[in-house]
Structures are given as structure tokens and as C-alpha cells.
Amino acid sequence: MMNDPTGEDLTPDMTTPLTQCTREVRRWRAGAVSAEVDCLAEEVPVALEYNGIAHAVMLATPSDLEDFAIGFSLTEGIVDSARDIYAIDVESGANGVTLKVQLATGAFVALKVRRRALAGRTGCGLCGTESLDEVMRTPARVRSGASFDPAVFDQAFMALSARQNLQRSTGATHAAAWMRADGQLILVREDVGRHNALDKLAGAMARNSIDVAHGAVLVTSRASYEMVLKTAALGAGVLAAVSGPTALAGRLAESAGLTLLGFVRTGSLVIYTHPHRLRIAGSPHSPA
């Protein structure tokens, strides 16, 4: 049970409950077959309940689940602040994990009003949404004044790769990270789902009272509409991805005031929106 949603814990919980298992496999290589033992990432149903009412079920990696509950609640607009969450109970069962979240009265009343128009949400980000207006909601415009040397992004992604322990052993997970404006990687969270990894990161930042606007969010996936929506909702000024964005994600980033970067590689990246947050010599968009 978590009684203090803002308690400090910068270290990912990748040990309990079990996040991976082993399986005997056959590997074919160069015409020959060998018996080996491989590691597989665990994926379990995770149900979210608010004040005793079921809200959503996602498939997720069973780690950092309190971070996930807080981050999902924030990025989905269920709460405005982690302080609206009074407690979280993590209950493991034979069929999965239930996160029992206790909300402040005002937040719960607002959620009940919202549920009249929604059938529920799932880990795909948009499934279960009944209203087009709900799907295409626009977050408050990002006001982050942080600026970045472009060179720090590929350095941060290299540091991120070294900290993806579950990905290194299973090859089946995504990661989301928060980087300070000076390029220092502060927080990393992993999950089989890219949205879940970002929600876990959001929750970890909230618990540690990190001002998201003073840094950038990094993801090891494509920059989809939902990833842009969640990042903008947090107030981060930059979302950087190893892959490219969708057209819809680019339009949302433009309207939300979010700097969107893709294809971050050694010595290169692509700037899709709001280049003014990158300090590029001779660029008319660079900060003075």
C-alpha cells in the first residue's frame, strides 16, 4: 500500500513481482539447431479501480505499478495532481494484478461524470473511447522554457540503452526516460507497452516532485499521437523518439507547443515542431 504518492524512489522496481521468466527454446542458426534457455518478459493483466469502481484493464509488465497507477491517472486527466491520490493498494491474484486507487472526493466525482460518456480505457490509448471529441482532446499549451544542445539527445539515448535491463535480457520491452536540460538522464521506466512505460515514468516523476518542464521525455518507440498527448499533458517541452512520428502526432505537437524530435541517432536528429528549444548555431529559432 502506498500512503505517500510523492515519496522518493528513483530506482525502478524490476524484481518484485516477477518481470521475466525462462523458457527452453530451439535456435536455428546457419543450418544447425541448438537447445538453449531464453528469457521472456512477463505480461499480465493489470486492472485499475478508483474508489472501488473498475475503470480499465491493461496488459503490462508487473513492476513499478504504483508509478503506473499515478502516471495513468495524471496523463489520462483523471487527477490534476498526485496529491489527489490518497492511497494505492496493489493486489496480486491468480489472473493478474488489481490496482485499487483511492481518489480525493472532487477527483472521483469528476471521474464519475466523465464515465457517463466513456466505456473505459485500455492500454492502447484510444480503445474503448466512445467520443471523437474525447479522442481528439487538446491538452493545455506547453509552457516549458527549457532549451537543449542537440548533441545531448543521442548521448542520453546511449545512456538509456545501458539502463534498459529488462530489454537487454528479453528484447521485448520499451523504455521511457526523463532527461535534464543538461543531458543528464534521471529516471527510466520499462514496460512491454510503450504507453505503460511513459505512464510509469510520469508517476515516478510525480512521486519525486520533479518539474517535468525543466527537461525532456525520451522514448524508445515511435512518437504516436497518444505519446505526444501524454507528454504534453505532463508539461514537458520536448518529446524525443528513436523512430518517427505519425502525421497526427505532428499536428498535435504543433498545436500543443511541444518540440517533437524523431530518428535520434549519433550526430543527427529530425526536428518536426517548435525548433526554438534547440540551441543550434545560426538558427533563427535558437534561444537568444
277 and 237 in contact (C-beta within 8 Å)?
yes
With helix as H, strand as E and coil as C, how does 16-77 read? CCCCEEEEEEEEEECCEEEEEEEEEECCEEEEEEECCEEEEEEEECCCCHHHHHHHHHHHCC
The widest CA-to-CA distance across the chain, in whole angstroms, is 64
**How far apart are the C-alpha atoms of 71 and 81, rounded to whole Å?**
10
**How far apart are the C-alpha atoms of 251 and 141, rounded to whole Å?**
13
Catalytic residue list contains 124? yes
**How far apart are the C-alpha atoms of 271 and 273, rounded to whole Å?**
6
249 and 223 in contact (C-beta within 8 Å)?
yes
C-alpha cell at 252: 498535435
Q: Which residues contact residue 162 at a Cβ distance below 8 angstroms, ignoring those fewer than 6 apart?
A: none
Catalytic residue among 21, 39, 124, 127: 124
Q: Which residues are catalytic?
A: 124
